[in-house]
C-alpha cells in the first residue's frame, strides 16, 4: 500500500505541473497536441478535440506537447498561427511559467497545512532510533531517557548542542573524525541512572559531531494561523535556497553525497508513509518546491531554459537562432544527466545500506 500511496503523491505533483502548462496554453490560444502523464512508451491514449491525452509507462515526469515548440517545424497555415513560436514572448513565458507556478503554490499550501493543522512532532528526552556505525550503537537503547550531558541537564536541544560542542581536534573536520574529548551521557533506564563515556564523531551532512541517535517523537503541536504562516514562509525560503545551491554540491565531494534522485525521493516518501502518514504532507511540499526550482534553472533544457531564451529574444528584439538554443540545451542536458546519475548512485547506496533514515 505504501508503494501505491507514494506513487499517487508523485503523480499528483506531475499532473498539477503539467496541468499548469496545459491550462495556460489553452487560455492564451495555443494549440495543444498532447497532454501526457509520465513518459513513453505510451500505455493508454484517447483524443478529445484537437488534444490527445495519454499515460506513459515511465513514471518519472510528464509533458505537454504544444504545436511549434520547434520553430523549424513544418505546420499547416491554420495551425501555424496558434503555434508556440508564433506567439508573443509574454504568452510563451506565461505558459512555461505556469507549470512551476503550480508546484510553488502547492508547496506553500502543503507547508501551511502541515504547520497549521498537523504540526511538527515535539521532541522528547527519550532515545528513538540509533544509527549503525556511530558511538551510540550498542551502548544506548531506544527508550532510554537522556537526563544529562557532561553532568548538566536541559532541554533536548540544549543536550544536543552540548554533545556537538565536543568538536574534532582538526581545524577542517572530515567525515568520521573523532572529537578531541569524550562526552559523558547520563540516561535513565529501567528506573536506574547510568552514565556512559562516548566520543562523538563528525557528520558532514549535519555539519557537527554526533553520537548517532535521534530523540523519540512526542505529540504534534500545530502553530496558530499567524505563526504558521510565518514558519511556512521561512521554510519555503530555506528549501528554495538549498535547492538553488544544488549545482554547487556537485563540486564538493561531501555535499555531493547529499544529492538524491527520483528513486530516493520516492523511497523517502514510501518510508515516511510507513512510519508517519502525516509527515508525508511536508515531504511532498519539499519535493514539489524543489521540482519547481530545478525546473526554473535557466541553464537547463527545462522550463527555466525556455523562459531564459524568451527573455533574451525580448531584449535583443529578434528570435534567438534555434541552433544556439540546441547547443546550449546539450550542455544543460549533460548537467541534468550528471545530477541524475549522482542522485541515482547515492540512492542505490542508501537502499543497499542503512536506508534513508527518515526518522
pLDDT per residue over 293-351, tens digit each?
888 888 777 898 889 999 999 999 888 887 888 787 777 667 666 665 555 454 444 43
Task: Give the rounded distance of the alpha carbon of 297 from its chain centre.
Answer: 15
pLDDT tens sequence across 196-252:
999 998 888 778 888 988 888 777 788 899 999 998 999 889 888 877 776 665 555
Res 197: pLDDT = 92
CA 227/CA 248 separation, integer angstroms: 33
Dihedral Cα 136, 137, 138, 139, nearest 10 deg: 10
Do the beta carbons of residue 288 and residue 236 sit within 8 Å? no
In this predicted structure, the answer to whether residue 266 has a pLDDT above a threshold of 80 is no
What are the two backbone dihedrals, phi and then psi, of residue 357, each rounded to the nearest 5 degrees? 50, 55
- Residue in the block written with cell 503539467: 18
Dihedral Cα 322, 90, 37, 276, nearest 10 deg: 120
Confidence of residue 264 (pLDDT cuts 50, 70, 90): very low
Specify the higher pLDDT residue, 273 or 151: 151
Res 297: pLDDT = 84
Which CATH code, of 2.30.42.10, 3.60.15.10, 3.20.20.70, 3.40.50.300, is assigned to 121-220?
2.30.42.10
DSSP string, 96-150: HHHHHHHHHHHHHHHHHHIIIII-PEEEEEEEEEE-TTSTTTTTS-TTPEEEEET
In the predicted model, what is the mean pLDDT of the chain?
Answer: 80
CA 345/CA 282 separation, integer angstroms: 25
Q: Which of 1-10, 12-21, 44-53, 307-316 has the least mean pLDDT?
A: 1-10
Res 274: pLDDT = 42
Task: Quote the pTM value.
Answer: 0.70
Res 30: pLDDT = 93
Res 242: pLDDT = 76
Residue 199 CA neighbour count, 13 Å, CB half: 8
Map out the domains of the chain as residue ranges: 2-117+278-352, 121-220
Average pLDDT in the 141-161 region?
A: 89
CA 47/CA 235 separation, integer angstroms: 42
Res 263: pLDDT = 40
Q: Which of 76-80, 177-181, 275-279 has the least mean pLDDT?
A: 275-279
Amino acid at each position: 500500500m505504501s508503494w501505491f500511496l507514494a506513487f499517487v503523491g508523485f503523480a499528483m505533483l506531475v499532473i498539477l505541473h503539467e496541468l499548469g502548462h496545459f491550462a495556460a496554453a489553452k487560455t492564451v490560444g495555443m494549440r495543444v497536441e498532447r497532454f501526457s502523464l509520465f513518459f513513453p512508451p505510451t500505455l493508454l491514449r484517447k483524443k478529445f478535440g484537437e488534444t490527445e491525452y495519454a499515460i506513459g509507462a515511465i513514471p518519472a515526469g510528464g509533458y505537454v506537447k504544444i504545436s511549434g515548440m520547434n520553430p523549424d517545424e513544418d505546420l499547416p497555415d491554420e495551425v501555424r498561427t496558434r503555434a508556440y513560436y508564433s506567439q508573443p514572448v509574454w504568452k510563451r513565458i506565461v505558459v512555461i511559467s505556469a507549470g512551476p507556478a503550480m508546484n510553488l503554490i502547492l508547496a506553500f499550501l502543503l507547508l501551511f497545512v502541515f504547520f497549521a493543522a498537523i504540526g511538527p512532532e515535539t521532541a522528547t528526552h527519550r532515545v528513538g532510533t540509533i544509527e549503525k556505525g556511530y558511538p551510540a550503537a550498542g551502548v544506548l537503547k531506544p527508550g532510554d531517557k537522556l537526563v544529562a550531558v557532561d553532568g548538566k541537564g536541559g532541554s533536548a536541544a540544549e543536550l544536543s548542542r552540548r554533545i556537538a560542542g565536543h568538536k574534532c581536534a582538526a581545524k577542517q573536520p572530515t567525515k568520521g573524525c573523532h572529537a578531541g574529548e569524550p562526552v559523558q551521557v547520563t540516561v535513565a533506564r529501567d528506573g536506574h541512572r547510568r552514565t556512559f563515556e562516548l566520543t562523538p564523531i563528525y557528520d558532514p551532512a549535519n555539519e557537527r559531531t554526533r553520537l548517532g541517535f535521534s530523540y523519540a517523537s512526542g505529540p504534534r503541536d500545530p502553530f496558530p494561523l499567524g505563526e504558521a504562516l510565518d514558519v511556512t514562509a521561512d521554510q519555503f525560503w530555506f528549501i528554495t535556497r538549498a535547492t538553488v545551491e544544488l549545482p554547487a554540491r556537485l563540486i564538493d565531494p561531501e555535499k555531493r553525497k547529499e544529492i538524491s534522485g527520483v528513486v530516493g525521493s520516492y523511497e523517502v516518501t514510501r518510508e515516511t508513509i510507513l512510519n508517519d502518514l502525516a509527515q508525508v504532507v511536508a515531504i511532498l511540499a519539499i519535493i514539489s518546491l524543489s521540482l519547481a526550482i530545478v525546473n526554473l534553472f535557466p541553464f537547463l533544457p527545462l522550463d527555466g531554459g525556455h523562459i531564459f531564451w524568451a527573455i533574451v529574444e525580448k531584449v535583443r528584439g529578434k528570435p534567438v537562432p534555434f541552433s544556439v538554443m540546441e547547443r546550449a540545451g546539450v550542455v544543460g542536458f549533460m548537467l541534468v544527466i550528471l545530477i541524475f546519475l549522482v542522485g541515482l548512485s547515492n540512492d542505490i547506496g542508501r537502499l543497499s545500506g542503512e536506508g534513508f533514515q527518515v526518522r
